[in-house]
A and B are shown apart, each in its own frame.
Chain A
């Protein structure tokens, strides 16, 4: 069955770029049945959707992050990526990569989650 695993630096300096990779195993991310995305959770707080990408490369990002977010995908490597530029302490969070199911019966829901990776923004 599908598993997702985030990887990337756990510490990023203010004003620099946060870069994370999500590696899928157990199934291909080239399926047309799913979207792939990122969600974050500041320590002790709630969940924030960052953005979602389709295998074709179409993306939907949260406007609250303005133009700082880039999500990309490489189906040949079974990976997708998050880049967040100009980070501040407010970007400190656990970052989850997720699969979003998309069907008439099940709707759109984040049905598979990675374990999450903590990213701290600090000098």
Chain B
């Protein structure tokens, strides 16, 4: 199985900050990397697919980049509603696997 490792596991930031979350795959996954946001008590929501394609309705302050084994999710100018847990997921090959999550908290 492809292992997905996110860093950091948790992050404290303030409204208006720029934050970056990284995701590393244990082998090359080309650009088959998705990012999800999950708020407490809710199902995850897709933000970005194929590493950098913003899903419909997702604010442009979210962006993704990377290919191969190293990927990043960047949120520019944090809004209060952005404090949540973020997961990366590879769709290169089954079994599809997720990172362990990055919890973004308010400083």
Contacts and interface: CB of A to CB of B under 8 A. Distances in A.
Given A105-B53, A113-B44, A115-B43, A49 B95 contact: yes
B55 to A, nearest CB: 7
A96 B101 contact: no
Interface of A: 46-49, 52, 60, 62-64, 96, 101, 105-111, 113-116
14 contacts: A46-B99, A46-B101, A47-B44, A47-B101, A49-B94, A64-B95, A96-B44, A101-B49, A107-B32, A107-B50, A107-B53, A109-B91, A110-B46, A110-B89
Interface of B: 1, 31-32, 34, 36, 42-46, 49-50, 53, 55, 87, 89, 91, 94-101
A64 B42 CA distance: 25
A49 B97 contact: yes
Q: Which 5 A-B pairs rank lowest in CB-CB distance, beginning with the nearest? A: A113-B43, A107-B50, A108-B91, A109-B49, A49-B96
Given A109-B34, A110-B46, A113-B45, A60 B87 contact: no
Contact of B95 (A63, A96, A108, A113): A63
Nearest to B92: A108
